[in-house]
Chains A and B, each alone.
Chain A
Amino acid sequence: MEGELMEADIVVPSRLSFKKIQAYEKYPKGQSSSRRWKHLKQILQAENFQDLPPDLPTYVNIESPPSTQPCKRICDITGYEAPYVDPRTNLRYANAHVFKALRSLSSDQVHHYLSIRNAAVVLK
C-alpha cells in the first residue's frame, strides 16, 4: 500500500488481536453476505408478537397511529398550499402558473414527484 495511505491509517486491519474469531474466518470470501441477514420485516415476523399479551410494548405496537389532524395538501412543485389536483398526473398544484409548468414535465419527473410522497403507482 502507498505510504500516504499507510500514514492516513484509514483501513481497518483484517487481523485484530482482540478478536476471538477474525472476520475473514467468519465471512469467507465469495459468499454473498447480503442474503444471510433477515431484514427488519422478516425479523418482526419471526418475533411472534401476536403470542405476547397485547399490553406489552413491542417494536410493532409502539408505532404511532395515523394523525387525527386534517391532512395537509401542499403543491408538489412549489410547496404552496394546493387546492387543486391534476387528474392526468395526480400531482397537486397551487395555481394556473404551476399547472402550466406541471403539464410540461416529463413523465419521469412526474413519477419522481409522486414517489417523493409515496403516491407513485409502480407497475410490476
Chain B
Amino acid sequence: MSLLEVNNLEVIFALRHGDLVALNDVSFTLDKRERLGVVGESGAGKSVTGFAVINLISKPGRISKGTILFDGKRLDRLSEREMRHIRGNRIAMIFQDPMMTLNPVLTIGTQMVETLRAHRKISKKDAAKIAIAKLELVHIPSPERRLAQYPHEFSGGMRQRIVIAIALLTDPAIIIADEPTTALDVTIQAEIMDLLLELCNTQDMGLMLITHDLGVVAEVTERVMVMYAGKVIEVAKTSDLVASPMHPYTKGLINALPGHGECDEENRLQQIPGSMPNLTEIAPGCSFHPRCEFCQDICTREVPELRSLAGMDERKVSCHFAGTEQMQ
C-alpha cells in the first residue's frame, strides 16, 4: 500500500452563483520516498490538491467526495485536533514566497522552537538543539547565531532554506512543496531544488512538488501528474512524459518550453492557443477540447476517462485519441 492514497477526490467551492468544482475526481498515490510532480497552469487545481491533502481548504471550499488515506488513516475524516497532529508533523508544506511565510516579528529560533513544541513534549533547550541540527542540514552557516535573528536579516534563498528547515523539524514523511522556487532567482532556484532532492534522499522523505515549471519537474521528480481544469489528465514516469507526452495538452506544454536550438522559424516557441476555461462554465465533453488541435466530434460530447494504455504500466491518460494514429 502506498503511503498516501487519494481516491476520487472532489473539492467544491460554494460561490454565490453556484458551485465551482475545483477538483474533479482526482486520484493519485505517493509511495514512501517517492518524488511526485504536479504540473499545470494557474488555476488547474495544483495547490488545492496540496491543501486538500492536509485538509486545509479554506472556506467556502470543502472536500465533497473521495478519500485521502495516509498511513492507513482517513485524513478527510479526522477531527481538527487529530489533523493538527498530522499537519506540520507527518506532512509538512512549503510555500512559494519565503518573504511572506515567516512571521516578520519573531526570530527564526522562536518560530522553530514553537513548531517543535507544538508537536512534541520537549524543553526549549532540546528544541533549539534540533533546530540547529536542521539548519545545518539545509546548509545555513553558523546556525547557533542565526537562531536569534529575524527573517528580514536573511536573503530570499536563505529564507527558503529556513522554511525548509522548519518543515524538516519533525522529520515528516511527506513534504508538499507548493511552487517553492517561483519567487527566487534562477541560480537560487537550482540550489533549492538540489537541496530538496538531497534531503529526500538523506531524510527518507516523500516529496509532492507542485509547480508549473516542467524543467524543474524533469530534474527532481520520478513521477509526474499533469492537471487541467481540476482534473488529472496524464500520469507517467517523468522520463516517459518528457520523452513522449500522450495528452495533447502535455504535448503543448512541452512544446512551449524554450529549447537550445537555432533561432529560426522552425524553432519558434510554440504556445497553446486560448486559455484555461473558467471553472464555473466548463464545456461538455473533454475540458480541453476548445483548445485542442486534434479535437473531434466525440471530444465535445463525451468526457474521456483516465485510462491506462495498452503495454504501458504506470501511465494513464484521459484523451479519446491518446496512442492512436490521429494524434501523430
Do A and B come from the same complex?
no
